[in-house]
Structure 1
Amino acid sequence: MNLSLGVKVLVVVTCTLFSALVGIGAGWLHHSPGARRRDAVLFGGVAFGGTLTLCLTVLGAVGVLSGGTA
């Protein structure tokens, strides 16, 4: 696909926001009363990083983020 730079930036921002939602949800589900909050934050951060990596890898493989035609 030959998309403009603005559309590619919009796709990356959308992936980042989706990954942030997944990370927040994972951290929220991992937190239990009486437990340390930093464990839930770390778990959410790992979920965010994994989701963002997966999203960008899939979009790169499909050809959305590449410069040439796929």
Structure 2
Amino acid sequence: MNLSFGVRLLIFAICFLLSVIVGIVAGVISHRPDAPKGPAFLYGGGVFGGSLTLCLVALTSLGVL
């Protein structure tokens, strides 16, 4: 596809925000009330990175980005 730069930037922003939401949900789910918050932050950050990578790789292989 031959998309303009603005459309590509919008698609990237959507992927980024979707990955942020997925990371937040994963961090909240992994947190236990009696445990420190550090491991939940690290887990959420790892899920965010994986989700963003997966989203961008899928869109690149489809030819969108």
Taking structure 1 as the reference length, the TM-score comes to: 0.92
Larger Rg: 1
- Aligned-residue offset at 1:16: 0.2
Tell me the residue number matched to 1:48: 48
CA distance in 1, matches of 2:22, 2:4: 27
Percent identity between the two aligned chains: 52
Tell me the residue number matched to 1:68: none
Summarize deviations over 1:34-53 as a string: whole Å, max 9, x none: 10101000000000000000
Taking structure 2 as the reference length, the TM-score comes to: 0.99
Q: Give unpaired runs (5+ residues) of structure 2.
A: none
Cα RMSD (Å) of the superposition?
0.3
Where in structure 2 are the equivalents of 1:1-70 lying within 5 Å? 1-65=1-65
Q: Give unpaired runs (5+ residues) of structure 1.
A: 66-70
- Aligned-residue offset at 1:60: 0.3
User: Runs ≥4 in structure 1, deviation > 4 angstroms?
Assistant: none
